[in-house]
Structure formats: C-alpha cells, structure tokens
Structure 1
Amino acid sequence: MSTPTQDLAAAGVSIWLDDLSRSRITSGNLAELIATRNVTGVTTNPSIFQAAIGNTSDDSYAAGLAELAQQGADVDAAIFALTTEDVQAAADIFRPVFDATGGVDGRVSIEVSPDLAHDTEATIVEAKQLWAKVDRPNTLIKIPATKAGLPAITAVIAEGISVNVTLIFSLDRYAAVIDAYLAGLEQAKAAGRDLSQIHSVASFFVSRVDTEVDKRLAALGAADALKSKAGVANARLAYELYEKAFAADGARALVAAGANVQRPLWASTGVKDPNLPDTLYVTELVAPGTVNTMPEKTLEATFDHGVVTGDTVTGAYAEAHGVFDDLAAAGVDFADVTQVLEDEGVDKFIASWHDLQKTVADALAAAPEAAR
C-alpha cells in the first residue's frame, strides 16, 4: 500500500518541509525525510532561523559562531554566513532530487532580510548577494510580495535568479506577482538568458487567513457556517487565477520559448485551530503542479492519517466564489483582511530577524570569553 505522502506526490503536489536547522542536516534527518516522507524541498524564513540558531539546547552552531567571533565578524555578516552555509548544505542534500526532476524540485529557499521589505533597490542587491554566496542552482531567493517587492521580483528574475515570492494573501496581489514574474522573463529573454533555468514559486498563505477572518466573523456575530472556510476558498481561487494567467497568450509564448510556469505554493499550512482537522490545508488543496510547504507536525500528521482523494481544487471554484459572496454579505472586508495580514507578516518576520540579531550578537560576545 502507498502512504498518504506518496499519494500526494502522485497527485502532483510537491512536499517541501517548512523548517531547517544545522542539526537537522548533520543528523541525517533531512535525508531521511526525503527517503521516507517524499519531501522534495525546504523553505526557510527569519522565524525558522531564529528558532534554529536561538535554540540553547542545540550546540551545532557554536563552533561556527566562535570562528566568526575570532574573525571579527559583525552580527549581520555572521547571520549571512551561518544561514547561507545551512542553505548550501541542504541544497547539496537535495541536489539528486533537483537533477531527477529537471530542476522543478530539490529546491531550498532563503529570504532577503525582512528589514528590506519596503526597499526595492536594497532587496535587489541582497537577493543577488545571497544567490552568489549560496552558489547552488537549486536555490530560491525569497522576496516578499509587498508593493516594493514587485519590481524587485521582476529585476531579479531578469538576472536569471530563481525566486520564491512570499507573503501573498490576496488575489489582486497574486495577479501582480504573476505579472512581475512574466515581466522578468520577458527581460531575461531579451537579454538572451536561458529561460528554462529560471524557476519561481508563488507562496500563497492559507491558515492565517482563517485566523483573521474567523476573528472578524465572531465579532460580527456571523453564522458559524462560514467559520474556517476562507483560507481554503482563497487558495482555490488563487489556483483558478494561476490557470487563467498561464493560459493567456503572453505566458504561453514565454513557455513555448522555454520558460517555466510559476508554481503556486501553499504556505502557512499548519492548522491553528485545534477544532479543525490537522491535515485540512493539505488534503483540501490537492492540485497538479502545486507545492505544499509543511511544518514537520503537519507533515507527520499527513503521513500518519492524511486522506488524499485526488484533485480537491479545480472542481470547487464555484463553491469558493460562493464563500466570498457570503463573507462580503456578512460584512467581512476581505481587502482589509489581506492588508492586515501582509503588514503583520512583515512585522513578525522583522521581529524574528531582530531577535536573531540579538541572539547572534550575544553569542559573538560570549564566544571569545568561552575560548579564554
């Protein structure tokens, strides 16, 4: 019998782990997840690195921090070194997957500093620096889908750098992300770049939408029938938009010239509400050519008891539109919901980044003392 994660892969969903740490790499755990859980990629973000490097029970970063302290590295240089080393190592582990899938999977993502979320030019500069430093073809550079991030996405794609666009919550912003990707491909084509080597995913966030909408529904005293429906419906409509966008003439011409479609990625798929099935944002978002990036708890729940019945997205567009009609009728301002979520998402990553800076600063300061 097949496992649920095998069934998910067979349905066209790539399973990426939403976590990375040095101990996960060195212990063989990452390789084990590839072998036993059908994991074909990894995503990281500032919160993940803060949890990894700030874990006081994990001394796998101690030697690296001590060496960086001896070299006189400042905080940001140390973070850059530690995180890019982890991504290099993970990318090497996933290289066979990358080769076997023609570059579609085997991907490891690393994000530009969230402090740059509203600075286009600085985002472009750091994206290029990360790409050059990691120096692995199976890397994805994460750029947030803020208004300032959109032109950065175009510029970075135009340079031939593969991108994971993150923090997408609304269909309008998702449409702008697709346009930014296609514009970058047009520029890359004009520059004579090999379009087949440029890949991108668009990370559409799911569970946070339900958390915010459900809070508003409760405040409005709206019917419980709408509770926890928005996240899945929003993602399903994102897939409908993806299908339409890449069936349009401009996108089809680029694909004919060797370009890759920008795959939808379901992010924030850990269930926040304990009353919901813990595999909800996996089994209800099965569609060909998608990525589901899961925290390990969700991955294990899916492997243990996920029920994969095939495509649960493309036949549900009418139902998803109905959910949004009902939410509007109930008084939920969804445009405001998604703007609040984007702002909160950026702020949370900035807070994690600053926590990481403090953790590394303290470790750098303590390292020379420990050496004496």
Structure 2
Amino acid sequence: MAKSFRLIVNNSLNPDIGFAMDETVMLYVNMSLVPSTVHFWSCKPTLSIGENTLTKDEIENLKKRDVEIVRRHTSGPSFFADEGSLLFSFIINTNEFDLPKNLTELYETVYRPIIRAIRTYGFPCSYEDLFYLSKNGIVVSQVTQFWYYDVLVFQGVIYLETNIDVPNRLNLLSRKITCIKNFYKESISKEEFIRNICLKIKTELKVDLVEEDLTWEERTLLERVLKSKYQSEKWLVYGVPPLAYGKLLIELLTAYPPTKMCSKMEENVKNAIKLSQEEEKIELRIWRRGKGRPPGTIVSAGLIDAAKKSQIPAVIVNGALKFNKMVPSHEQILESIREEIERIK
C-alpha cells in the first residue's frame, strides 16, 4: 500500500488552468511518474459543466454577468465556484491503495475527509446521489467522478463563503446551494479549512501528505492540455475532446493475438515514426481486437468504423483510415505521417 499523497495547494487559478491541471496530473499518475495527488484551489465566479450543454448565446450571457464557463472532464451535474469556494481533487491510482471495490463505498471513503471537516463547523450533512453533500436538500458541497484506466479523479467544490445568490438567483444549478458561513457565522479561513481536511485525510485514509508542485514535465504537458482542450470551442460548447492533446495520433488496430500480418504492420508503423524524426509530436496507440477499451480513453471515429467492419489490421492517422487489410511499407506510412503533420501545422 502506498503511504503518501502529493499535496498541491494553489490560491487562485484561472478556471481553465485549474481543471486542465487536474487532467494533466491524472495522465501522469496513470503512468506512475508522479504520486497520487490531492489538489486544492480557488477561482473567480465560474460555472463548471460536465455533461450539460450550453449554447454560445447562453455562454455569452453568463460572461456578461461575470461568470466564467468551463467544461471539466469529470461527469455529473454542473457546479458553481467563486473566490469564497474551495475546489478540490483527489487523483488516486487505486491499484496502490487498499480501497473498497464497491464504487459507492469507494466514493464514500474518498469523500469522508471532506464530510468530516465540514461537520466540524456545525453543519450536519449527508452524502446522496453520488454527487451531493446536503442538509434537507440544500447542497453545501458537490463532487464528480471520472475513471482513467485505474486512476480515480474525485473532483468537487465546498461552498465555504460562496456568494450563493449568483447561482441560486440565476438558476445555474439543478439544486439550491448554501454555504458553511451561513451556519458557522464566523469567517472561515481557507488555509485553516485545508489544514482541517488534511488532518482528516491522514486519519481516514491513513496516508501522509507531502506538499510539492507540478514537475517540469507536467507543466509542459499542461500547456498542451490547456491549449488543445480547455481553450477549445469544440470542447467548451460541444464536449468534443482532442484526440491526443495536439499531437498527431496514430491508431493501430490488430487482431489478438496479433497475426504475422499484424505484427509486421506494427513494426512498420514504429519504424516510420522513428524515421519521421517527429517522435515528440506523435502519439501511437495500439488496440487489440477483443481486448476492450480502458475507462476514460478516447478513440477516433475512424478506429470505431474499422473495428465494426473488421478491417484488420488497420492504421488510422488523426481519425482517418489510411491503410487496412494489407501491410504498407514503412515508407508509405512515413509519407502519410509527413502529409498529416504538414496539414495540421
């Protein structure tokens, strides 16, 4: 069992940066390049949408009221945050911890430090419907979840001293919210509240917390995630994610176990990528027919179509089917790679 979480605390971030940071950390935790991480931060007034869809006019109207809009990668209902709120994320490689296998029990376990911290301020509350922490139907905290392979992203908000008039008056959320200050009556320091949660994390989850920042490699990827996804209209308005965070994506579909033809195709693809001298700009994903798709992963329409039609082996470049049912030479694949890199410059 792993013994510690990395702790990252940011005061105020642009909302797109904060949510892009969580996704970046998720990718690195999955690769076991950084430890499981707890992230606390705040932002200016923001409506965070998950599965909801807003029109461009609705987005502009909210911006005129000084409310930012960000689509996060976690599922679930929209939630609101502002400078008086505390946003949090638990990004956990579940293979490294002794956690419940039942999803409801797992979510309750991860949320428990937050729940117990809130209760210490005299706010009795209960966790319901996987997304809400409330008292008599009035919400004081919300949470959402996302799985990427075996990494759980447990992301949410605590309404500490939130200006609840904004979301309640504008009907931004499906349920009314309140804030802890309305019950505690005294000013609540975020720093004190975070310390309280951290103590609960240590006792409830039996881990240490080591305060660190993003690595240089994470910061580099964060720039790509931010630009290709969180600053993209396709993602914000339509919920369409980039295939590979701005990289050229090559998908290889083979049989399982791979036939001789499939193995030769894989060899030629890897040789072509190496010969392109653009390896840092290319991401290769190899899919074995019948092996399933890990949670949270994205595949292109071209790959889905090739799989449905049993066009195996197949090479798909940035979503377009380029070769199937035959083995192209590495020169042919290289030419296709160079053409696509030139096209997307």
TM range (shorter): under 0.3
- Whose helix proportion is higher, 1 or 2? 1
* Larger-Rg structure: 2
With normalisation by structure 1, the TM-score equals 0.26
State the structure with bigger RCO (CA 8 A, min sep 6), 1 or 2.
1
TM-score, normalised by the number of residues in structure 2: 0.28
